[in-house]
Chains A and B, each alone.
Chain A
Amino acid sequence: GEDVEQSLFLSVREGDSSVINCTYTDSSSTYLYWYKQEPGAGLQLLTYIFSNMDMKQDQRLTVLLNKKDKHLSLRIADTQTGDSAIYFCAEDAGNNRKLIWGLGTSLGVNP
């Protein structure tokens, strides 16, 4: 069935780049999303990429999509302590609006 997988934890030093990876199974996905969840809050849309794109850059965020390998990554340049959060990958698996979610990657940033 449809599945989205992410590693559960990532730890980086402040100022380094963070790369959060995600793999998905549904090749018919139209959009792929990255959401951020801070403690006690809801999920906040960070960025998304259309499936016919390979890369999207938005300030410190770079999204790379490899459709052949069904691999999505989020790179955060110059990671700050405020970037500590859980990052969710999700794919839009079609018109029924059932986003398929990963379990989230908890990013810890060490000073």
Chain B
Amino acid sequence: DAGVIQSPRHEVTEMGQEVTLRCKPISGHNSLFWYRQTMMRGLELLIYFNNNVPIDDSGMPEDRFSAKMPNASFSTLKIQPSEPRDSAVYFCASALEANSPLHFGNGTRLTVT
């Protein structure tokens, strides 16, 4: 298996623009997680899905952030409008089921200028 695939690897955008991050989980995994990593706050769970249904989105910073999982093999995290403080590395991870270990993608490094 190719593992969790995220795109793009790097994204540089201007403040106010819409940003869409993409994730393809490992085939057969039922749970998908979006994390944000910064030096100051470490790893933060933004949202997670189980069987394509959002279970906990309490980590989503504000209404500018939204996530979807239209099917078992694809998820998006959208930021609209983006702000400089959104600059971070965003990771997607999947797991076989809710209580299984997480498998991470290589992340998307987002820079908002």
CB distance from A91 to the nearest CB of B (A): 13
Contact A97 B99 (CB under 8 A): yes
Contact A99 B102 (CB under 8 A): yes
A1 interface contact, C-beta 8 A: no
Question: Given contacts A96-B56, A97-B56, is CB(A103)–CB(B42) below 8 Å?
Answer: yes
Contact A45 B99 (CB under 8 A): no
A-B CB contacts (within 8 Å), total count:
46
Chain A residues within CB distance 8 Å of chain B: 30-31, 33, 35, 40-45, 48, 88, 92, 95-99, 101-104
Interface residues on B, range: 20 to 34
Query: In the complex the two chains form, what is the Cα distance from A47 to B100 in whole Å?
Result: 12
Contact B98 A95 (CB under 8 A): yes
Chain A residues lying within 8 Å of B107, measured Cβ to Cβ, are: 41-42
CB-CB contacts below 8 Å: B31-47 with A = 31, 33, 42-43, 45
B68 interface contact, C-beta 8 A: no
CB distance from B103 to the nearest CB of A (A): 7
Query: In the complex the two chains form, what is the Cα distance from A9 to B75 in whole Å?
Result: 35
Contact A42 B43 (CB under 8 A): no
Beta-carbon nearest neighbor of B55 in chain A: A97
Query: In the complex the two chains form, what is the Cα distance from A88 to B91 in whole Å?
Result: 15
Contact B105 A42 (CB under 8 A): yes
Query: In the complex the two chains form, what is the Cα distance from A33 to B104 in whole Å?
Result: 14
